[in-house]
Structure 1
Amino acid sequence: MPAHSLLLMLLQVGILLLLTRVLGGLAARIRLPAIVGELCAGVLLGPTILGNIAPSVSDWLLPASTPQFHILDAIGQFGVILLVGITGLEVDLALVRRRAGTTLGIAAAGLLLPLLLGLGIGAALPDSFVPASTSRPVFAFFLGVALCVSAIPVIAKTLADMNLTHRNVGQLTLAAAMVDDVVGWLLLSVVSAVAVSSQLGDVFWSTAEATGLVLAALLLARPVIRRVMERAARHPDGSRTVTTAVVIMLLSAAASQALHLEAMFGAFIAGLLISVTTSPTAARQLASLRQVVLAVLAPLFFATVGLRIDLSTLRSPTVLGVAMLVLAVAVAGKFGGVYLAARAGRLGRWEAIAVGAGLNSRGVVQIVIATAGLRMAVLTPTTFTIIVLVAVTTSVMAAPVLRIAMSRVEHISEEELRRADRTGLPTPEPSTNHGQ
């Protein structure tokens, strides 16, 4: 690497991390998800602001040369692979099994309706929103996948900040989000493989490869991972556990990429396997990895996403109109599907609204999918910006709607017992109101 390229890389990473810390902290203080501030760090240095105000400074700090940007992009890709792996670590499969019926109904409705609506919008958008190198069906399929996902990291953080994790609504939301995440990464892998070949006939083979990868992981890799993680956990300082987990995630991502699937799918499967095979000791040792990923690598990835966002495109009435349409369809599809399924599952009206608000948060997952679409040239920079705006807007919407809905859903005895078990606090007298 030339000396000047190294200098630029160090300056880029240092400045981006500083801005993500400052702006992420400001976002948290006004009760917004931290990723809003982290994205704004990239927007501030990208074409939206610095590129317009001081183009010469922007060209020097963030030159448009492909090799230089690839260096920063590679660091961001490393961060997002570990972020997705950490997300897999947080999945509680036992919770999904306990609430299987209601969970699957809500998850299925929250996936299918926005997926179908996204396919419809993708088929109807003007040609200017579709890359010339991508077929219309592939673009529509990708847009449907982007609109149907939910985001466990943002949902879990929002519920924790609002002290709702112990509530039945919180548990059900997390369980359904876990199912959505698994299916979402599977669909991303399928559409990624299709985008590479540009043949919809490859859907079957892509699905078969993804299913084969999951089965191989469960049947072959799971006992090996259990044994390796148990041996690593014997080291008292936890360094071997962290290194082993990172190696497993990276090799799983490489295997997924080698099968022409999305590398993040492999990382997610690796995180799932680690979560179900590690001991409590190993889980505690992995806390340091989670801290580094969430404090350094993930913010840097979101900042690099912000660098690609050009909000000046929204000055066009057509682009702004399409953005509002996609946002409305995304919210109506996810929230509407979840609400109807929750009511069919005998949840109260306000409980159904709360679950719908939680699952409507796309956050991290949709941003990752949008980034993959831009990298594969399935999305144009304009459609990429629109999808990221949908992700941020739906994440911001979740907390206030949850706050209003949950103020009308009173505690029941099961929730109070769960809270007491987790916090050690005495159990107050419960109410019998179930939010009906």
Structure 2
Amino acid sequence: MVTTTVAPIPAHSLLVLLLQVGLLLLTALLLGQLAQRLRMPAIVGELSAGVLLGPSLLAHVAPDLGSWLFPHTTAQMHLLDSIGQFGVILLVGLTGMHLDLKLVRRQGSRAAGVSAAGLILPLALGIWLGFQLPGQLRAPGSDATVFAIYIGVAMCVSAIPVIARTLTDMKLIHRDIGQMILVAGTVDDAVGWVLVSLITAMATTGLHSGEVVAALARLAIVLVLAMTVGRLVVRAAMRAATRSGVRGLPVVTAVVLLILSAAGSQAMQLEAVFGAFLCGILISQCRETDPKELEPLNTTVGTVLAPLFFATAGLRIDLTALATPKVALWGLAVFAIAVVGKFLGAFLGGRLSGMNRWESLALGAGMNARGVIEVIIAMIGVRLGLLTVEMYSIIVLVAVLTSVMAPPLLRFAMNRVAHTAEEALRETRVLELQGDAGSRREPVANGPR
């Protein structure tokens, strides 16, 4: 048997890829900074980079340049997508690392009630909406029930990165309501990733009783392995990397663990990011892991890989596809259901847990922000063959608009919520810690997503 060497990437394909990455990243960083100056999440600018360079603008203003720079060929787009997938796996892994499970345990049953209401109502409304949406918003050949469940999941998630940064910037992170928003959003996101993985399995194997049971069994196996063998492996690997004293080894070890975990969940016909999310949680639980040693990873993902992924996601948005009155009206319906469902669910959860109406309104405003999580879910929907260009564009716009809505609505509600003595004490401690941290090192500024 004669073996032949596989040819490397063609010179022209490499040139196009380098230009794509360079232009997308440059535009995403510039527009991301502009968005932050306008007091908006960075993701707004980063997605806009893809919108400007994609079918919404460049393809119409300079069609020859647009088709040369971003050709509609599977091979070329897969090259760009592979870089984006690498970034999103690490981004979701970092989201898992930043979850504060101690805070979840402290809030207990009260937070569970708020999370359940903020999850179940938008999930139910989203599933109902999914069945009502016209066939032109669902990809040809996709299962109507799987599509409807997917829409429900997209409606019920929150975005912890956006929420945490918003609360920090508004100096609400120490407030009781700020803590509750973080906890409820954390639980909702964790459940959301489980549901996304279940949908992935359904879309892959079909929606029959045997396949659904098999998907649930695979999901249970992954969770059990993560909490047992995975916990031991991650702890041993991170402990060895930390104690080695080799500069950068903890970062490399964390990246390897995240990618292999993503590969494991993908092999189980679940979503790759679900494995990365679980691994991120396990890494955060390692006592030997010093968060400062993983700061280079946080910086690289936050300033390079994440903006590139969101710019790539923006390339798939076609705003001209939303110009049709029927599509535009359905887009408004999706946005209304997304906002009302999350707001009303969180508001009712807050009221049932003993909060007053302004505290409950603030809870709804904070949890309504979807940001990065919903964009990732939208990309997954495209990859699973569930979404048309129109529906994808609608879901991404919902993610952007709800993230932009959060700060002013939070400010409006929190201006009517009185400070407590405990909150004042907690604020003093936070300021003291920030002062100590500032005297030791310069802060690293990552934009909200």
Pick from 373, 378, 388: which aligns with 1:370? Answer: 378
The answer as to whether partners of 1:230 and 1:282 remain within 8 angstroms in 2 is no
Measure, in 2, the Cα distance between the counterparts of 1:57 and 1:352: 50
Question: Aligned residue for 1:30?
Answer: 38
How far residue 415 of structure 1 moved from its aligned partner, in angstroms, is 1.3
Question: Aligned residue for 1:339?
Answer: 347
Question: Aligned residue for 1:249?
Answer: 258
Measure, in 2, the Cα distance between the counterparts of 1:199 and 1:167: 44
Measure, in 2, the Cα distance between the counterparts of 1:255 and 1:85: 14
Change (3 A) 1:92 1:238: farther
2:230 paired with 1:221: yes
Per mean C-alpha deviation after superposition, the further-off stretch among 251-260 and 113-122 is 113-122
Question: Aligned residue for 1:283?
Answer: 291
Question: Aligned residue for 1:165?
Answer: 173
The answer as to whether partners of 1:419 and 1:425 remain within 8 angstroms in 2 is no
2:15 paired with 1:7: yes
2:288 paired with 1:270: no
How far residue 312 of structure 1 moved from its aligned partner, in angstroms, is 0.4
> What is the identity, as a one-letter code, of the residue corresponding to 2:252?
T
| 1:57-72 pair list within 5 angstroms | 57-72=65-80
> What is the identity, as a one-letter code, of the residue corresponding to 2:165?
K
2:421 paired with 1:416: no
The answer as to whether partners of 1:241 and 1:282 remain within 8 angstroms in 2 is no
- Deviation per CA, 1:215-267: give whole Å up to 9, x if none: 11111111221121112112446400000000110010000000000000000
Change (3 A) 1:12 1:144: same
Change (3 A) 1:425 1:212: closer
Measure, in 1, the Cα distance between the counterparts of 2:126 and 2:247: 44
Pick from 147, 153, 161: which aligns with 2:155? Answer: 147
2:191 paired with 1:210: no
| 1:68-83 pair list within 5 angstroms | 68-83=76-91
Query: How many residues in Structure 1 have an aligned counterpart in Structure 2?
Result: 425
Question: Aligned residue for 1:380?
Answer: 388
Q: Normalization by structure 1: what TM-score? A: 0.95
Measure, in 2, the Cα distance between the counterparts of 1:215 and 1:10: 41
| 1:61-210 pair list within 5 angstroms | 61-201=69-209, 202-210=211-219
> What is the identity, as a one-letter code, of the residue corresponding to 1:248?
L
- Deviation per CA, 1:257-297: give whole Å up to 9, x if none: 00000000000000000001143x52110111011001000
Instruction: State, as a whole percentage, how many aligned pairs show the same letter.
Output: 52
- Deviation per CA, 1:352-381: give whole Å up to 9, x if none: 111110100111111101100001111111
2:259 paired with 1:259: no
The answer as to whether partners of 2:91 and 2:301 remain within 8 angstroms in 1 is yes
- Deviation per CA, 1:126-160: give whole Å up to 9, x if none: 11111121111111011111111111111111111
> What is the identity, as a one-letter code, of the residue corresponding to 1:242?
V
Question: Aligned residue for 2:446?
Answer: none
Q: Mind listing any 5+ residue stretches in structure 2 that lack a counterpart?
A: 1-8, 435-449
| 1:313-324 pair list within 5 angstroms | 313-324=321-332
Measure, in 1, the Cα distance between the counterparts of 2:294 and 2:184: 25
- Deviation per CA, 1:94-133: give whole Å up to 9, x if none: 1001102121111111111111111111111111111121
How far residue 411 of structure 1 moved from its aligned partner, in angstroms, is 1.5
Question: Aligned residue for 1:234?
Answer: 243
Question: Aligned residue for 1:329?
Answer: 337
Measure, in 1, the Cα distance between the counterparts of 2:212 and 2:306: 31
Measure, in 1, the Cα distance between the counterparts of 2:151 and 2:418: 38
How far residue 42 of structure 1 moved from its aligned partner, in angstroms, is 0.3
The answer as to whether partners of 1:138 and 1:200 remain within 8 angstroms in 2 is no
Q: Normalization by structure 2: what TM-score? A: 0.93
> What is the identity, as a one-letter code, of the residue corresponding to 2:56?
T
> What is the identity, as a one-letter code, of the residue corresponding to 2:406?
A
Measure, in 2, the Cα distance between the counterparts of 1:325 and 1:171: 31
Q: Mind listing any 5+ residue stretches in structure 1 that lack a counterpart?
A: 427-436
Question: Aligned residue for 2:5?
Answer: none
> What is the identity, as a one-letter code, of the residue corresponding to 1:199?
L
Measure, in 1, the Cα distance between the counterparts of 2:365 and 2:217: 33
> What is the identity, as a one-letter code, of the residue corresponding to 1:32?
M
SS in 1 for 2:369: coil
How far residue 208 of structure 1 moved from its aligned partner, in angstroms, is 2.3
The answer as to whether partners of 2:321 and 2:389 remain within 8 angstroms in 1 is no
> What is the identity, as a one-letter code, of the residue corresponding to 2:258?
M
Measure, in 2, the Cα distance between the counterparts of 1:259 and 1:156: 32
Change (3 A) 1:97 1:195: same
SS in 1 for 2:283: helix
